[in-house]
Amino acid sequence: MIVAFDFDGTLVDSYTVIEEAFRRALEKHFPWLPLKGFWAKILTKIELYFERPRFGKHRGKVKQPFFFRWKFFKSWFEERAKLSKPIDDSKEVLKKLREEGHKVISFSAEDFVNGMKEYRLKISGFYELFDDVIVFGTEISPCEAIQIVRERYGDDVFIWVDDKPWRFIGRGDENTEYVWYYFPPTAKFVNEKILEQIHHLHVIQDLWSIFDVIERIKKERKSK
Ligand SMILES: [Mg+2]
């Protein structure tokens, strides 16, 4: 099977470190600024606003807000990358999946600073654990990203693991199975209305449970 993983909130916890990363970036670029802790809190609130589900007319491509081009935000992403910690034994889970013969793909959205996601995957030691790395959001939409997966890896079952299940809505094909990794900081934005729009949805609270999901999918698809 093809197993695709989102990065932030799925393989690494880069959320609980947002505030500290802002504090460090402020320290670097605005050392004269008083109350850095306060400003770090405000910036964290703004950042988390961008993490909420967005519906309505959007093509799945996001324009970089102008302020994300500032050197300050680049530093923030870098600090965030340094402070992020793997979730569960995410690296071991990826290795095991590949050992079992699955195609393992990094499948996540760009970070508002072009190339930042790839950079973060590399410095965190995740990059080489994947068969392929696909980053959508700026150059390509999530739907186009799925097209790329189909072109490269065929029509095998595509298991998409993400902590933001609203991303699944209206995307994928009949051979797509959706796995919501329940990550508390983003789970609070999930509601019934979102979940009822997703068929073939599996929910896990531990990354190792992906192996149970794979077994279940095998059984379900065999009995059809
Ligand atoms: Mg995520």
Report CA(112)–ligand 1 centroid distance (Å).
14
**What's residue 53's pLDDT?**
82
Report CA(7)–ligand 1 centroid distance (Å).
6
Report CA(64)–ligand 1 centroid distance (Å).
18
**What's residue 159's pLDDT?**
98
For residue 130, what are its two tokens?
């994947």
Domains and CATH numbers, the chain: 2-13+85-222 (3.40.50.1000), 18-83 (no CATH)
Report CA(163)–ligand 1 centroid distance (Å).
5
Confidence of residue 28 (pLDDT cuts 50, 70, 90): very high
Amino acid identity of residue 146, one-letter, is I
Report CA(33)–ligand 1 centroid distance (Å).
31
Confidence of residue 52 (pLDDT cuts 50, 70, 90): confident
Please tell me the least confidently modeled range out of 10-19, 27-36, 49-58, 78-87. 49-58
Residue 67 pLDDT more than 80?
A: no
Query: 161 near 3, Cβ under 8 Å?
Result: yes
Report CA(127)–ligand 1 centroid distance (Å).
16
Confidence of residue 56 (pLDDT cuts 50, 70, 90): very low
Residue 60 pLDDT more than 80?
A: no
pLDDT digits (tens, 9 = 90+) for 144-178: 999 999 999 999 999 999 999 999 999 999 999 99
Assign 3-state DSSP to the chain and report helix, strand, coil percentages, each to 5.
45, 15, 35
Report CA(116)–ligand 1 centroid distance (Å).
15
Report CA(224)–ligand 1 centroid distance (Å).
32
Report CA(68)–ligand 1 centroid distance (Å).
18
Report CA(156)–ligand 1 centroid distance (Å).
24
**β-strand pairing of 176-181 with 12-13:** unpaired
**What's residue 111's pLDDT?**
83
Report CA(51)–ligand 1 centroid distance (Å).
9
For residue 194, what are its two tokens?
């979102």
Report CA(31)–ligand 1 centroid distance (Å).
31
Kindly list the distances between the CA atom of residue 83 and the CA atoms of 92, 123, 150, 187, in Å, as whole numbers in the listed order: 20, 11, 34, 21
Report CA(8)–ligand 1 centroid distance (Å).
4
Report CA(10)–ligand 1 centroid distance (Å).
6
